[in-house]
Structure 1
Amino acid sequence: MSERSKLPVSSGSTGAAARALLDAGLAALKRQEYGTAIAHLESLFRTPAERSVQLKARMGLVMAYEKSGNVQEAIALCQTLSNSSHVQTRRWAAKALAEIAQRHPEAAEPAAASAQSLEAPPAAARPASEDDLAAGLTHAPGSRSPSRPLRSPSHPPAASASSLPNDTAIAPVQTTPIDWRLAGRAQKWSPLPMVDRAGLWALGLGTAMALFALLRGLLLATFWLFNHTIARITFPVDLRYYSIYRDPAALVLLGLLGLAIALPWLMTLLLRRAYQMQPLAVDTLEQASPEAARVLKRIFGQQQRPLPKLELLPTDAPLLLTYGSLPRLSHLVLSRGLLAQLRDDEIAALVAGEIGHLQHWTAGVMSLVTLVGLLPYLLYRVLGQWGDSQRNAGLRALAMDGSLLGYGLFWLCRAVGLWFSRRRLFYSDRTSSNLTGNPNALSRALLKCSLGLSQAVAQQRQTSPLLESLELLMPVGIKTSLTLGSLYAQHPSPDLLQWDCQNPYRHWLSVSNAHPPLGDRLQHLSRYAQHWRLFPELDLPPAAPPRLSWKERRPLLLQASPYLGLGIGLAIALFLWLVGGVATQFNWRGLTWMWGDRTLLMGCGLLGFSFGTFVRINSFFRDIPRTAPTDLSLVELMQPPAPIPLPGQPLRLRGTLLGQRGICALPSQDLLLQCETGLIRLHHTHRFGPLGSLLAPGRHPSGLIGRPVTVTGWFRRGATPWIDVETIQTTQGAVCRSEHPLWSTLVAIAAALWGFHVILTGF
């Protein structure tokens, strides 16, 4: 490691060293030694420094780049400064851009246009001397520098709020330019200590076995339904001869092996047909991120393997993913938004993380789970779009049934891979840091992906099918990015990540997410940076101790009471089995029936689940007073963060309803509220649960999409913040009710009755 990288993270000598580099760079700039000035000022960013020092160094680099003939770098850095949140910095950038445009009109046409669009018009252009600049830098306001602007992707212009009808206008969310710290990277580093991957591989094997068990169970249920249906049909033809009683295990195993073999080609075909994926040349990637191309060539060259096939998704959302059954047959997919919104080193850090999936042999299992889920998901989309175009009520109902069935199968397949998806990301983050020596770039990349995903949802006014169907393969999930990304764009503060870092229940409350809490990952990356004596990109709060007392666990137990009740019921059933076994040994005939009786297991489990659900209902759905807070800021709701979703904050919140339309909206998985401070997910439930969408599709809130509404409900803080809806009311008075408490009560009653029936009748 170099001597500079060995400096303490927060020592006073580090700040003095940064100021010395700044003074040396500005002195070289006065002497017109531009190469020396650039070397000193660029070296400053590899050491911790105050924001004011970093800002002065960037302003000095603008002049040094221009004088040394690197006009494009000067323009890019100047445009970066023009996005600062400080007015004086923007004015200085506007003036500098105008002067560069006068001196280099052939290279600075975009810069001149950008300067004219800034808040403060440029002052009268006059050539600025190095002395003037050095003098001005001593009084420049402090700021962290945002990342350099990259090529903006081409996309259709969004309709302005004024061009929309009054009942569909969306209040624009005001975003704050983020001043990224741009913390440095290690120049020479020793790899982080090796981590045992046996647990990861065991979890991957368990995921494959769970997928096999799921498909086998679905086929067994299908065979049972088929056999019982044809058993009742004896006229005019007796179909019982065609009953299926064979175990489908061999069929499922052969099917999964076939999918695994055909995975690279089948996945490529589906992505090109459904999402217009297209090949990406290595030269194109090298232009967008030279470091990413170098990392790919270096790693695969050392392993003497061919490079993964590069693909491009034409979407403005920043995402990338890797799929393939074997590393030699892998595909690396990047989006247009990723190449446009992230810096060179940030793209390289994400690509190195995808290489980590290949090195750990996790890409194959995750790709197979995604492919198996993608097939019914595409069925859900195709049938939903086809049903929306049908006028015949029977055909439309058939499309609704098939579409909901397809989404249900996709949801089950997705659930199989959630644990493995969350766990493997910690390993890939560690591998990315080892390969690049730049955990700070990966921290910025993950945050920028979160910002870009939430922005893509806001622009499209719904979650795109691409983001939903491929979430298991993405480095950052849409569910974890939705609220955090929209809030961080306005309030770029590490305090928003406090729940992710310090909540002792964060891992338990993330069981339904494909990605761990983002703050948890960023905290690991900060530790890697500190291990190499680097200043971390974010000042995150310290992690909470993992050990909890019994008193601290009680709220979580209440939150999980339905599932805890199920476990207690099963435990009681096993105890009764034990009593029956003892009774069998002593020939107590009145109790011997309990030994090995499966109906006890099922009945007691149902009764325990019912009891746990009743225990939680009153605490989960408190009465909403008429004086409930109105139009609270999402930032206020997120701070201080509640440890668990229970009991929830009653509120009324105004905003615009976003989400899917038509049949594809019936699962209610994409119901969002866009308010002035950000985006938040809504949970709407019919009194009859998922079947309610089929019984009364006209009462679904998708009919209010795009309209300003007032939502009444309970805000819940979990790994994904959400609002349990009570009512959604438009400005015209139309009301759509959600009946989650009633549905939970009906489920609890049904489970109790079913449990008693099973125990008493033995069926």
Structure 2
Amino acid sequence: MNSIPNPSLDIGMTALQQGDYALAIAHLSGVCELELDESLISRAAVGLVTAYQRVGDGRKAIAICQILTDDPNPEVRSWATNTLTQLTTQFPPTTNPTGFVPLNETPPSSPNTSNIPQWLGNSAQRLFSGGKSQKKPPIPQQPLPQTSSQLPVAYTPPSTPSLFTTSPRFRNLGRAESWKPAKPPKLFQLWCVEIGSAIAFFYLLRFWIQFLMGTTNNILVKLPFLEPIQLFYRDPTPTLWVILTLLLIFLPWLMDRILKQFYGLQPFSLSQLTSHSPEAAKMVQRFCRQRHLPLPTLEILPTNAPLAITYGNLPRTARIVVSEGLLSQLTEDEIATIYGGELGHIIHRDFILISLFTLAIQIPYLIYWQVSKWGEDLSQLIDRKLPAYRKLLPPIILGISSAIASLGYCTYYLLRLPLLWLSRIRIYYSDRTAIETTGNPNGLTRALLKIAIGITEDIQTSRQTSSILESLDLLLPIGYQQAIPLSSCSGQISFEAILHWDCTNPYRDWLSITASHPLIGDRLNSIARYSHHWKIGTELDLPTPTPPIRNNTARLAKLLNGYKALPLFHSALFYGLILGILFRGILWLIGIICDWLNIWQLIWLHNANSFLDACILIAFSLTILFWINNYFPDIKPGTVINQPNLGELLANPHTLPPDSKPIQLTGKLLGRNSLLNWLGTDLTLQTPTGLIKLHLFSYLGAFGNLLPQRHRPSDLIGEQITITGWFRRGATPWIDLETLRTSGGKMSKAYYPIWLTILAFSAATWGAYLIWQVR
């Protein structure tokens, strides 16, 4: 059949997988005719070979395969060579028994398909000769309706080779030649978020310090021979003000010291930047000259992970730090867009507060990291030097070290929560500055995607999430947890498929509330608006984002259906709070009415303040118990999805955390070793189809992981394992583990459902006790 006017590679590949070979051939042949991207042409041609083979048209399959044997990609050439051998065996050439060959033999097919080798070769030749600046035709976002002429051919295919899989490539579309910057952005919202984040951070810090000091003294009071620390009874507010002020004054030099001591920070001159990206060097100088800013200090980190951060307390003390990985993995124009974004943080002044808060939370994070290292080293030293105390001292040292390290990590995690909103919103302003400074929204899109891919590659190479990726997460252009889903992109699973969820899921804003950065798909959609405005084409064909809800009826419906979207624990907290307050309000109203009617037996209801806490606790408990069975369905051989393709799971834009999918996966366990990972905070499964985060909880939650165990997950790092659990799709996809088993028989079990059940009964018991106290 003839190719259709607006062919789509995604529609063609989907039709091929579904057995609709006529529709697949129509789309894929159209892509080969019109597409300018060499990788897309190769993928479409590979799909055509398979489609023609399955409908029994060996002549066309062989013709395309012969062209692919000259493809510049060695993997494509290898695939084509092997497949061509199979095709020539499966479809031997037919000759006339008499040896007669007619001079004007006409094949019994349409004229269009008879020219496949010619237009495929022409397309490839046009691309490889440097024609990537030509305009690409639009690709439809929705599949075209099928017609009667597009029915699949009834054919039973023989065994065929698997489709060739290649890493996703970029279209490398151009940039604006000339453009007018838009009006300066209104910074009022950014300022409000900065002020709100600063207030929330300070009060949370003060509360946490007071809680730790009070808890410490309460423990000391109950211990023999020890006395409470009198200093801990004082108000820490003045001291916190002094400490934060000193941190702000010495911020750039303290950050320099930390980065030099732990990550090998080195100076980086403007001339060195010029050798990597002349455009970036010129842009930095031009930007600072036009806005009357001093040139920022440039520095570099010797790590392969692509990183870029900006910190300082004034524009004149600002530092822009990039990594060697960023300079090696990005092209010249892409590096310029990243520097443009970092300059945006300086011009908007949002880098000052976020730098201060990031420096503050480095203190507990370094305590976590260093105490874990020291405890492990000291335990091993005693094991070697004092073998007589091998069974006594190492467990004590490890126990104390794990408690201190876990406290440091929890402090770090808690204090970063009020900073997440500021971290997300400031990104949009810096992206705008990067685009308007360079005129290259497509370059910024490629840069962000390459950074995400580079981060996942670094995690796989180092077999763990490095400390710099986690501790400086709020300063990075892409968060390391957001980057993980893009590891599932492949030749058959495109960027657009993975990012579809980010653009269209109606609950994506709720599920990203604990994310450090905006959703990548949502963010790239905002960047693509500039490409549409300047009519230069977009690097990705992302779907139109779902618009925000405007009317109250729709908002109420979304709120009432929120239990279908949120994870169970979050749903229980949210709806427990709402139902508890509602129930308490009803009882309060009953008490008021009884006071008016002089029904003295129930007057106490309107004045029982502790009753509110009891109502919330009981509502929280009932919410968990009501939903827990649906959230954790039984994992049975008939219901479990065995070895699924992670890319296909992530490509479903409608999946939500409560859509529990029991799965079984095999791969390599990545994460930190020993004490650094006793809490189970860094567990990632590396599979042939991508990376996925793992969540593991004991009977007592995450802190129960600190108790003695026969096999800790951190002891299995680097081994090939098989896991069973429930797949969850959120801003960062994850699997709630049930079991984790090695080929050698070692097994670690998770008890998240039991932990939630214990939590529910504890909350109900506490609530009942409060009610009893009121009576």
Distance 2:262 2:66 in 1: 45
Corresponding residue for residue 581 of structure 2: 570
Matched, 1:263 2:251: yes
Instruction: Give the count of matched residue pairs.
Output: 631
Corresponding residue for residue 557 of structure 1: 563
User: What aligned pairs does 1:394-413 form with structure 2 within 5 A after superposition?
Assistant: 394-413=396-415
Corresponding residue for residue 34 of structure 1: none
Matched, 1:679 2:670: no
Corresponding residue for residue 422 of structure 1: 424
Structure 1 position 357, deviation (Å) = 1.4
Structure 1 position 699, deviation (Å) = 3.5
Distance 1:529 1:289 in 2: 23
Distance 1:393 1:641 in 2: 47
Distance 1:321 1:388 in 2: 31
User: What aligned pairs does 1:303-702 form with structure 2 within 5 A after superposition?
Assistant: 303-389=291-377, 390=379, 391=383, 392-488=394-490, 491-547=493-549, 548=554, 554-558=560-564, 559=566, 560-562=570-572, 563-573=574-584, 576=587, 593=604, 597-627=608-638, 628-702=640-714
SS in 1 for 2:540: coil
Query: TM-score, normalized by length of structure 2?
Result: 0.75
Distance 2:120 2:211 in 1: 76
Is the alpha carbon distance of 1:326 and 1:145 closer, same or farther for their aligned partners in structure 2, counting shifts above 3 Å?
A: farther
Q: Could you report, residue by residue, the CA deviation over 1:118-149 in whole angstroms, capped at 9, with x for unpaired residues?
A: 999xxxxxxxxxxxxxx99846357699999x
Between 698-707 and 716-725, the greater mean CA deviation after superposition: 698-707
CA RMSD of superposed structures (Å): 3.5
User: What aligned pairs does 1:146-161 form with structure 2 within 5 A after superposition?
Assistant: none
Distance 2:66 2:719 in 1: 36
Is the alpha carbon distance of 1:600 and 1:330 closer, same or farther for their aligned partners in structure 2, counting shifts above 3 Å?
A: farther
2:189 to 199, 203, 207: 199
Between 638-647 and 353-362, the greater mean CA deviation after superposition: 638-647
Is the alpha carbon distance of 1:418 and 1:143 closer, same or farther for their aligned partners in structure 2, counting shifts above 3 Å?
A: farther
Structure 1 position 408, deviation (Å) = 0.6
Is the alpha carbon distance of 1:430 and 1:762 closer, same or farther for their aligned partners in structure 2, counting shifts above 3 Å?
A: farther
User: What aligned pairs does 1:707-718 form with structure 2 within 5 A after superposition?
Assistant: 707-718=719-730
Q: Could you report, residue by residue, the CA deviation over 1:695-717 in whole angstroms, capped at 9, with x for unpaired residues?
A: 22443211211111111111111
Is the alpha carbon distance of 1:393 and 1:263 closer, same or farther for their aligned partners in structure 2, counting shifts above 3 Å?
A: same
Distance 2:697 2:548 in 1: 34
Task: Kindly provide the amino acid, as one letter, of the partner of residue 202 in structure 2.
Answer: F
Q: Could you report, residue by residue, the CA deviation over 1:26-66 in whole angstroms, capped at 9, with x for unpaired residues?
A: xxxxxxxxxxxxxxxxxxxxxxx99755769xxxxxxxxxx
Is the alpha carbon distance of 1:54 and 1:760 closer, same or farther for their aligned partners in structure 2, counting shifts above 3 Å?
A: closer
Distance 1:564 1:251 in 2: 38
Q: Could you report, residue by residue, the CA deviation over 1:44-103 in whole angstroms, capped at 9, with x for unpaired residues?
A: xxxxx99755769xxxxxxxxxxxxxxxxxxxxxxxxxxxx99968957699xxxxxxxx
SS in 2 for 1:266: helix
SS in 1 for 2:681: coil
Is the alpha carbon distance of 1:53 and 1:511 closer, same or farther for their aligned partners in structure 2, counting shifts above 3 Å?
A: closer
SS in 1 for 2:541: coil
Distance 1:86 1:190 in 2: 48
CA contact (8 A) 2:531 2:538 kept: yes
Corresponding residue for residue 704 of structure 1: 716
Between 718-727 and 636-645, the greater mean CA deviation after superposition: 636-645
Structure 2, unaligned runs of 5 or more = 7-31, 40-63, 82-118, 133-163, 384-393
CA contact (8 A) 1:176 1:491 kept: no
Task: Kindly provide the amino acid, as one letter, of the partner of residue 610 in structure 1.
Answer: S
Corresponding residue for residue 271 of structure 2: 283
Q: Could you report, residue by residue, the CA deviation over 1:481-523 in whole angstroms, capped at 9, with x for unpaired residues?
A: 0122343587434122110111111111011211121011111
CA contact (8 A) 2:33 2:120 kept: no
Structure 1, unaligned runs of 5 or more = 1-10, 13-48, 57-84, 96-113, 121-134, 149-173
Structure 1 position 467, deviation (Å) = 0.5
CA contact (8 A) 2:338 2:447 kept: yes
Task: Kindly provide the amino acid, as one letter, of the partner of residue 677 in structure 2.
Answer: A
Is the alpha carbon distance of 1:659 and 1:211 closer, same or farther for their aligned partners in structure 2, counting shifts above 3 Å?
A: same
Is the alpha carbon distance of 1:241 and 1:426 closer, same or farther for their aligned partners in structure 2, counting shifts above 3 Å?
A: closer
Task: Kindly provide the amino acid, as one letter, of the partner of residue 480 in structure 1.
Answer: Q
Q: Which has the higher contact order (CA 8 A, sep 6+)?
A: 1
2:766 to 748, 754, 758: 754
Task: Kindly provide the amino acid, as one letter, of the partner of residue 342 in structure 2.
Answer: E
Task: Kindly provide the amino acid, as one letter, of the partner of residue 649 in structure 1.
Answer: K
CA contact (8 A) 2:168 2:495 kept: no
Is the alpha carbon distance of 1:530 and 1:683 closer, same or farther for their aligned partners in structure 2, counting shifts above 3 Å?
A: same
CA contact (8 A) 1:52 1:142 kept: no
Distance 2:756 2:268 in 1: 49
CA contact (8 A) 2:683 2:694 kept: yes
Distance 1:322 1:180 in 2: 28
Task: Kindly provide the amino acid, as one letter, of the partner of residue 742 in structure 2.
Answer: T
Corresponding residue for residue 720 of structure 1: 732
